[in-house]
Structure 1
Amino acid sequence: MRAEASASARAWQAARALSATCPRPLRRAVRMRLQRATAARQGRRGWLRRLEPVFYIAPAFLVLAAILAYPLGYSFWLSFHEWTLRGFRQGVPWVGLDNYVGLFSNVEFVSSLRVTFTFMAGALTLEFLFGMALALLLDHDLKGRGLMRSLILLPMMCTNVVIGLTWRLLFNYNFGLVNYYLVRLGLAPVEWLSKPAMALPSVIIVDVWNTTSFVALLLLAGLQALPEEPFEAARIDGASWWQVFRYLTLPLLRPTILVALLWRIIDTFRIFDVVYLLTAGGPARASETVSIYVYRYGFQTFNLGFASAASYMMILIMLIMAVVLARLIGRSEA
């Protein structure tokens, strides 16, 4: 760059020296020609500068394309074909939309959707109630507030595999600590994971324990970003804490609540590992979510075409929910 600058400076000096000895019309033509050459050189240099980030980002995009694009494209292709373990050697016939149409006539898929939405509704309701309570508590100037913030983050630091195995031991009918303390309190032990009526509530309890701290952390960040002036004016006017919370805190906190809701809806809808480790979708498919359903058809019965169609239907439902919530977030921020 310095060499080019010095070369252009020398060229300008030579042009000035030449123009001093030339007639005025020729002098003007030389200057205009030098200006055009300099502008063209700077234009090429600017074009290369604009392309420079592309060369840095391109390797990462190529790796992502190899890891994500091909499997997504191949599974989308499979969703329009019949791929089974018995017949794939004889060919993979085209079936069109039969896999997608067959999903909604499949009682097990409809049941997995119902279980998934029930799980989402129960988990999100409890997480936002407890998360809001924790956020409001930690927003006050309390002694040991920093320690409390650190403690509520402990569940987020555990992997889902560890959480699933630990709670499976805690919920054990014969040797689990939960039933042990229930018996000590004079209550009957509960079949947490082996009774159809209790399997899904048990999974909800584990998910609430695991992710309430995440919701509380997001809501706490939103609370601390709220302006103080409306709250001071409400206190001066004699508003109660419930009126302040209902008419000031909740409306001002709406964008943060919607963002947390977006993250948690996507996370709960695609939950797999905790459910698989606790109940594997049982008993009697009482806790079988859509992810467990896709796994069962894809890797147990090896009907990959049908499983691919179910997974893409699952992606479509998540996209619809995400778009609706994203529009609500945009309206609340406008």
Structure 2
Amino acid sequence: MKKAWLWQALLGVGSTLFMIGALWWYQQREPQRLAAARQAALARQLDEAMTLYAENCAVCHGAQGEGLGATPALNRADLREANPDGLFKIISRGLYNTAMPAWGLDDGGPLSDYQITELVALIRYGDWQAVAERVAQRGRQPAAPFASQPDEGVLREVRALPQGEVLMLGLEVYARQCVACHGADGQGTSLAPALNTPAVRVKAPAEIERTVRYSVNGILMAPWQGVLSEDEIAAVVELLLRWDEMPGGAVPPPLAPAPVTEEMLALGERLYAQNCAVCHGVTGQGTRRAPALNVKSHLESTNDLALEQIITNGVPGTAMPAWGTRLTRQEIQAIVAYIRS
């Protein structure tokens, strides 16, 4: 009897010691297991988010989140530390009076809450070099923006003027960022007014600078604060004040529209279906996210070059992004031809 009791006691003590040891082992390993599980879940989120970014975001924010044109960069330290709820709200609902549309399903967008959460994780924890590789794999690398090139001979003449280096920089910035809307030599287009005029040259420098930096409500012009450097803004202001000193042909016009062919129309139809129909409708009838394109009065009052510029540079303050960072000029011309057809 005593022997049986002794074995039971030993068995009880052994079981207790085993349970204590198992609990200690579990307590030692559980934090590592949970951390590994969280890391694996985050890796899955980031992998899915990179594809979402390539398909939906790279066109405006760049392959590496560097920002394109007036669209801000996402690969910034301050965004990595930003409130995730705030980032979620911006992606889901968009930003009023900017080109950032609402991406959440509840606001007419194509992304679920979970997908938006994945994009928030990408902004906070993503490897932007890996993102760029995914963008390349998906064939979504942004192309060179629609721009002109100052004449080299003219630049040599400009260099000899007072503050010639500043004026040269102004011409280069204008050719890269402004010619699409304001036209060759600042003569204006159907999209934007002429800048090479006495009325502009008599304005106060501070007023011109303010317009360049922050734009003006109700117009297509994007604000360039944070996109252009301080030297570039100062150079553009100097150019606008002294454009009457520039030789003619300093900034040449864009190339003439390409002739329309059957192949061009087929390409335009395919590109429209892939990139435009989701917002403007399959037949251009418009949706909640974007206006109709098959409007006779609009097509009659807007020439091909103006349509090309709108597609290339987007429309600030709306959900229309700048497609010139994603499509080649030939592809944009094909879309214009298809819209016309």
Give the TM-score taking structure 1 as reference length: 0.22
Higher alpha-carbon Rg:
1
**Greater helix content:** 1
Q: TM-score, normalised by structure 2?
A: 0.21
- Greater RCO, 1 or 2 (C-alpha within 8 Å, sep 6+): 1
